[in-house]
A and B are shown apart, each in its own frame.
Chain A
Amino acid sequence: MTVVFQRTKGLTDKQFHYCPGCTHGVIHRLVGEVLEELNIVGKSIGVAPVGCSVLAYDYFNCDMHEAAHGRAPAVATGIKRTRPDNVVFTYQGDGDLASIGTAEIVHAAHRSEKFTTIFVNNAIYGMTGGQMAPTTLIGQKSTTSPEGRDLITTGMPLRVAEMMATIEGAVFVERVSVHNVPHIRKAKKAIKKAFEVQLAGIGFGIVEILSTCPTNWGMTPVDSLKWLEQNMIPYYPLGNFRTPEEVR
């Protein structure tokens, strides 16, 4: 029998703990495939965040380092500066990266640290039970915005990719989504490009990936994908914000 599809060598055999319909599994798989295809599993060191993907260190088949909430870019800086020949990436959610860890991600980008950040934006704090994130949409209900997020008291949702694109050191910035197969393919291309930027030693790269949270959004997995497409993409437009000449 011919094997036409199998688990990527970039991931371990461990079963994911993610909720049904959550797209963390898809994104993990994409990162794993990219590590395998670029033949860098053995030289990669990943930094896991705090949040739903806190156990990412169990899933990626490379050396992994857990970080405190928001601090992954600082930990990754410590690793990459001491081991410039290794491939280093952080995997962070929006509570982690866009709230408590804004200083760390902004300054890692500002210094153009030569690692790659996978930023999963599902517009809510998932692990702690569905609280409002900086990325929660106006009107979106969460456990700490029970009447829906309002602009006057909480401000507008933070657009991370656009913010990063204003930083010179962020040499690769792209926002993608994983709500359907064509976009999953595009997401993989962006992730691959971001790692290639690191391999070329150019500077900091970040891929923002729009993701779902059926459990805390209170929707079925299918409705979640539709909600992402209809509500998140209009506010968080997809596309490449910056790519260095060398890897175009």
Chain B
Amino acid sequence: MVKILMKGNEAIGAAAIKAGCKFFFGYPITPQNELPEFMSRELPKINGVFVQAESEISAINMVYGAAGAGFRVMTSSSSPGLALKQEGISYIAGAELPCVIVNISRGGPGLGGIQPSQADYYMCTRGGGNGDYRHIVYAPATLQEAVDLTIEAFDVADYYRNPVMILGDGMIGQMMEPVEFREPKKRELPLKCWATDGTEGKRNPNIISSLFLDPAELEKHNFKLDKKYKDMEENEVRYEMYMVEDAEIVIIAYGTTSRITRNVVDALRNENIKVGLIRPITIWPFPNKAFKEISSSTKAILTVEMSMGQMIDDVKIANEGRLPVHFYGRAGGMIPTPDAIIGKVREIMGGDK
């Protein structure tokens, strides 16, 4: 198959179209602008629709309407914009509608900056909106993976009737790599008989809502949603193990940081220093089970993030207090260098001795 050199944001857009997404609602924010720009060019060619909303809040609510109408639909944003979308994401999860949301994240808090960051981990994995809800968060490390996961995300969203998020950072969004558009593994998908497409007098009205005034009914709904989230935790966890079998130190990193860390593992292995990498591909559900595969040779865990330490909480939960958990992070759009991570590993090893 032909590989095409593409920018990350555009590759994700092309993947969405490949997955059958004909509708995109967005609002400009750096560093994700090439994605809505791509959609504004490409969607009209396939009788799709691009709307530049007046705000992120409006964009996600347009997604809510289009998803309710039964279509594959996507929006994208970057950190401060995603914060605004959280209200709508909660409603979409509450009303059990499928959609794909892309967050090409940048440094914060507040207006922050425009450089790559992983400081949206809490917002994306905990659900920044109100109420008990969850959604799968894919964190691709390469553009090929971003393409594959975006295509699959639409199926996963339809399968569970739930929003699915692609979390990249400014690096994933802005860099260029060769990608190919492969046929995804297809799932058996339920019919969208719940969609608001007009009764035509042939059925009772469909109502899309997340309102349950009776607390007993709402609790029932919460139990139903929770069962779905448990199914996701059971079936949708993805991660990659790299040289973990005999590792003395296991590094945990996702997305851009995992690419740097992989080089660190290779460099240290060349020096016969036994280091391995666990790379969560889904950061929710978090790959707790990967930590069960850590061998008795492992002495310590090192979490590396482009944040002040957010994933470290999940790492500690997954580790269940068995091994010491160390942290190395950069923030504000600063990217960890391999040398700095190597320095941290040496520091931990020195401390262990």
Contacts and interface: CB of A to CB of B under 8 A. Distances in A.
Contacts of B95: 66
Among B64, B67, B87, B200, find the residue whose CB has the most chain A CB atoms closer than 10 A: B64
B286 to A, nearest CB: 29
B62 A77 contact: yes
B61 A82 contact: no
Interface string B76-100: 0000000000011001000100000
8 contacts: A41-B199, A41-B201, A66-B209, A67-B64, A68-B61, A86-B69, A104-B54, A110-B54
A82 B205 contact: no
Interface stretch (A54-62, A138-146, A180-188, A217-225): A54-62
Interface string A63-87: 1111110010011111111110010
A71 B61 contact: yes
A43 interface: yes
Contacts of A171: none
A53 to B, nearest CB: 12
Closest 5 CB pairs of A and B: A78-B65, A74-B61, A66-B209, A78-B62, A75-B65
B65 A43 contact: no
A43 B95 CA distance: 22
B5 interface: no
A65 B197 CA distance: 11
B64 A63 contact: no
Q: How large is the interface on A (under 10, 10 to 19, 20 to 34, 35 or more residues)?
A: 35 or more
A102 to B, nearest CB: 10
A213 interface: no
Given A12-B205, A79-B68, A104-B58, A65 B196 contact: yes
B51 interface: yes
Contacts of A78: 23, 25, 61-69, 73
A147 to B, nearest CB: 33
Interface of A: 12, 41-45, 47-48, 54-55, 57-58, 60-68, 71, 74-83, 86, 103-104, 106-107, 110-111
Nearest to A63: B196
B71 interface: yes
B112 interface: no
B208 interface: yes
B343 interface: no
B198 interface: yes
Given A45-B69, A77-B65, A78-B62, 8 more contacts: A57-B207, A62-B205, A63-B196, A67-B65, A74-B65, A75-B61, A82-B65, A82-B70
Given A78-B25, A78-B64, A68 B196 contact: no
Contacts of A43: 198, 200
A145 to B, nearest CB: 27
B73 A45 contact: no
Contact of B87 (A54, A62, A68): A68
A65 B208 contact: yes
A183 B55 CA distance: 37
B49 interface: yes
A164 to B, nearest CB: 15
Given A64-B196, A103-B55, A82 B49 contact: yes
Given A78-B64, A79-B68, A71 B205 contact: no
